[in-house]
């Protein structure tokens, strides 16, 4: 299985953006891949509103990105500052 890093919005309309991320994970699985969506994991135990914890969550996600085979970007809801950092 290819490891697929999912880059999509979390900030803004979180309920909608979480639903989009879950849908994207499902698309990866249906395509035979193994999804990783850091914004579905790290906000569960790190406070995304706390700048230092947000920075730490992004750094953790970027660490996993290094071992992924592909990065899938969903920009339909716009790019967040976290997404821009991932894309850099």
In a domain, 16, yes or no: yes
**Mind listing the pLDDT tens digit of every residue in the chain (88 residues)?**
999 999 987 766 778 788 999 999 999 999 999 999 999 999 999 998 899 999 999 999 999 999 999 999 988 877 887 788 888 8
Answer yes or no: are the C-beta atoms of 65 and 5 closer than 8 Å: yes
The whole-model pTM stands at 0.87
In a domain, 88, yes or no: no
Q: What pLDDT score was predicted for residue 65?
A: 95
Q: What pLDDT score was predicted for residue 12?
A: 64
In a domain, 45, yes or no: yes
Please classify residue 18 by burial: count the beta carbons closer than 10 Å to its beta carbon, then call 0-12 exposed, 13-18 middle and 19+ buried: middle
In a domain, 66, yes or no: yes
Q: What pLDDT score was predicted for residue 67?
A: 97
Q: How many domains does the chain have?
A: 1
* Range of the structural domain that residue 60 is part of: 3-83
């Amino acid at each position: 299985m290819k490891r697929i890093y999912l880059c999509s919005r979390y900030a803004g309309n979180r309920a909608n953006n979480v639903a989009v991320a879950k849908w994207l994970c499902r698309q990866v699985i249906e395509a035979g891949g193994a999804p990783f969506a850091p914004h579905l994991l790290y906000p569960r135990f790190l406070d995304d509103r706390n700048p230092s914890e947000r920075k730490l969550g992004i750094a953790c996600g970027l660490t996993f990105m290094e071992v992924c085979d592909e990065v899938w970007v969903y920009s339909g809801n716009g790019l967040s500052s976290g997404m821009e950092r991932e894309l850099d």
